[in-house]
Amino acid sequence: MSEQKWNLVTREGLQVSVRPAGIDDETLLMELFDHVSPQDLRFRFLSAIKHASRRQIAELIGVGHGAVQSYIAFARDTTTPIATAVLACDGEKRRAETAISVRSDFKGHGLGWGLLGLMVQEAKRHGMEKIESIEDRSNYDAVELEQNMGFKIKPYPDDPSLLLLSKSLIA
């Protein structure tokens, strides 16, 4: 696992430490998703679930998929996970998809904004041309946040309940 770490300060002054997640972080991610609201779980996994499964966590971490990098955020100086972000690159390494989940009791502090900014930065660092996000149409907060960060919105092909948000990373 990479030793890389990022320190973020959200607009509300929350100090956050972010690091890449690894296979040993399955328990931490299970704990995190146990503190995500049912609605946010539905938005994240695009289906109604009560708990994230071990298979879903393995996919988030990228087990068996070198093109997936997962990140875990912690309130500075704690070991409690408060958010996660994923950056999944396509086979051609031109496009990255991102998804972010925040613990219910840490929402509203700018953590999603900070993590999305980090995912854009990381996608650029990896040479991606575009970053995308698939959102449920009713996930108003995420859609607004991404639009405020410069993502363009389009209907998702073949599913009227979803939106495709994308941002060009080419200068």
> What does pLDDT average to over the chain?
89
Whether 87 has a pLDDT exceeding 60, the answer reads: yes
Tokens representing 38 are: 């049912």
81, burial (CB in 10 Å: exposed 0-12, middle 13-18, buried 19+): buried
User: pTM, whole model, 2 decimals?
Assistant: 0.89
Residue 57, in any domain of the structure? yes
Residue 67, in any domain of the structure? yes
Question: Helix H segments across 15-154?
Answer: 26-33, 38-45, 54-61, 111-125, 140-148
Residue 104, in any domain of the structure? yes
Domain CATH code at residue 120: 3.40.630.30
Whether 166 has a pLDDT exceeding 90, the answer reads: yes
pLDDT score for 66: 62
Whether 62 has a pLDDT exceeding 60, the answer reads: yes
pLDDT band at 1 (very low <50, low <70, confident <90, very high): very low
pLDDT band at 92 (very low <50, low <70, confident <90, very high): confident
Residue 139, in any domain of the structure? no
pLDDT band at 18 (very low <50, low <70, confident <90, very high): very high
Residue 47, in any domain of the structure? yes
Whether 33 has a pLDDT exceeding 60, the answer reads: yes
